[in-house]
Amino acid sequence: MGLVGAGFVGPHHIDAVRRLGFVDIVAVAGSSEASGTQKAHALGARKGYGSYQALIDDPDVHVVHNATPNHLHYEVTSAALRKGKHVVSDKPLAMTASESKKLVDEAKRAGVVTAVTFNYRGNPLVQHARQAIARGEIGTPRFVHGHYLQDWLLHETDYSWRLDPAKGGASSALGDIGSHWCDLAQHLTGLTITQVLGDVTTSIPKRKKPRGSREAFAPPSPEGFGGPGATATDAVDVVDITVEDLASVLVRFDNGAKGMFSVGQVCAGHKNDLVLEICGTTSSVRWRQEHQNELWWGHRERANEVLQKDPSLINEHGRPYAHLPGGHQEAWADAFCNLMRDIYRSIADGPPYRTLPPAVATFEDGYRANRIVEAILDSARQGGVWTQVS
Ligand SMILES: NC(=O)c1ccc[n+]([C@@H]2O[C@H](COP(=O)([O-])OP(=O)(O)OC[C@H]3O[C@@H](n4cnc5c(N)ncnc54)[C@H](O)[C@@H]3O)[C@@H](O)[C@H]2O)c1
């Protein structure tokens, strides 16, 4: 594998692939020769490159992982496909739906293995719930609701490239984390979001942007300031923010089910608080990312239940994604590794590449995620009207 972009999430791609045990971690490309070399050394890759083109040109690199900021997703992925490389793209697949559509077509032409890391799908209890819902264990889904809330942009001194439309795209909270919620809602229910109504807010319209560059989720300075932004001593520019950091959305699904979710990056105390509940015609089921080893089942005629992750208690769809006995917690990085296992098994088997299991999001799924976010922004722009997902 070769990794382009080794900031916050890139190293987790390497960790996950390294755990498979049969993949050579060949190279890392950074934004400069110096950072490529330094990051390759730190992450135990054999080579460091100062440009993604050099990494893609390396004949030893068969699989390119794209973990760059959003504005580079299209060009890096497209260049890799042109060279016939397999691509694992972090989400969003591209910055706009039209770029994503091009990548869907380019990937088809390239005939390689491609995937987008909507990684919450890789959790064993998510796979268990998906199968249980498909078997009718909650009846027919009728109401899907939840939220994805974080607090890392709470202060006006918090800043990230995600807030700059030229680098992050037209959306911040919806594109970054709302896309995960929508993907998971559709994956769990097997339904498609067809219409949306969005109320979108920029709650901090001016922020202090540090003049130096900082990676997402960088640890706070020794003074305790900052996290992803300016420290007390940083030189800053005050910049206008146009993208949303908060949104509430009503959704309709193709079977007539209704839904609603909120996203926010300015909600104190919420770290990575993704919650999704599906109320069916007979029972309900809820999964919480921050308590991901538990699945709540709600009933009317009998007591509610909590299923703890345990390979001996979960169904045959969840079991391959669980690697530890009951009571041993599995988490974010394990779910990420599960996706890599599915993707690299297919690559290792060679052509003709078999269809990846449903736990792995495809480029089509990535394209759909862009279209949902764009429809929500359109809806909000029109003052909050029901808008078809194209
Ligand atoms: N799946 C998930 O749960 C998840 C989590 C976090 C981030 N992401 C996605 O991953 C991507 C990266 O996010 P992040 O939080 O790691 O950001 P980040 O800012 O921490 O890291 C981005 C890295 O890319 C590097 N980079 C910039 N330009 C480059 C270039 N031309 N060539 C090579 N490297 C370059 C930067 O120096 C930095 O190291 C985003 O698209 C984001 O949406 C996904």
Tell which residue, 383, 371, 387, has the closest CA to residue 174.
Answer: 371
Q: Is the peptide bond before 92 cis (omega within 30 degrees of 0)?
A: yes
Sheet of 27-29: strand order equals 47-49, 27-29, 2-4, 63-66, 86-89, 114-116
Task: Give the C-alpha distances (Å, rounded to integers) separating 272 from 63, 120, 149.
Answer: 29, 12, 6
Tell which residue, 240, 242, 241, 222, has the closest CA to residue 232.
Answer: 222
Tokens representing 109? 């032409």
Q: Ligand 1 mean position to 89 CA, how many Å?
A: 11
Backbone angles phi, psi at 279, to 5 degrees: -100, 115
Is 271 a residue whose pLDDT tops 90?
yes
Q: Ligand 1 mean position to 253 CA, how many Å?
A: 31
Strand ranges for the chain from DSSP E: 2-4, 27-29, 47-49, 63-66, 86-89, 114-116, 141-149, 193-201, 206-210, 236-240, 246-253, 258-264, 273-280, 284-288, 294-298, 305-308, 387-388
Q: Ligand 1 mean position to 216 CA, how many Å?
A: 8
Q: How many residues does the chain have?
A: 390
pLDDT for the residue numbered 226 = 41
83-109 pLDDT, tens per residue? Answer: 999 999 999 999 999 999 999 999 999
pLDDT for the residue numbered 218 = 67
pLDDT-derived band at 72 (thresholds 50, 70, 90) equals: very high
Tell which residue, 120, 118, 206, has the closest CA to residue 156.
Answer: 206
- Looking at residue 140, its amino acid is T
Q: Is the dihedral of CA 65, 369, 71, 234 positive or negative?
A: negative
Residues 6+ apart with CB under 8 A from 301: none
Q: Ligand 1 mean position to 228 CA, how many Å?
A: 13
321-334 pLDDT, tens per residue? Answer: 999 999 999 999 99
Q: Ligand 1 mean position to 64 CA, how many Å?
A: 14
Global pTM reads 0.96
pLDDT-derived band at 233 (thresholds 50, 70, 90) equals: confident
Is 222 a residue whose pLDDT tops 90?
no
Q: How many CB atoms lie within 10 A of CB 264?
A: 25
Mutate to test the pocket of ligand 1, among 43, 64, 68, 340 (most ligand atoms within 8 A of CB): 68
Mutate to test the pocket of ligand 1, among 3, 4, 9, 160 (most ligand atoms within 8 A of CB): 9
Is 257 a residue whose pLDDT tops 50?
yes
Around ligand 1, the residues with Cβ closer than 6 Å are 4-10, 29-31, 52, 67-70, 72, 90-91, 117, 119, 176, 215-216
Q: Report, as an integer, the average pLDDT of 38-52.
A: 98
| Atom 3 of ligand 1, residue of closest alpha carbon | 119
Q: Ligand 1 mean position to 190 CA, how many Å?
A: 29
| Atom 27 of ligand 1, residue of closest alpha carbon | 31
340-381 pLDDT, tens per residue? Answer: 999 999 999 999 998 999 999 999 999 999 999 999 999 999
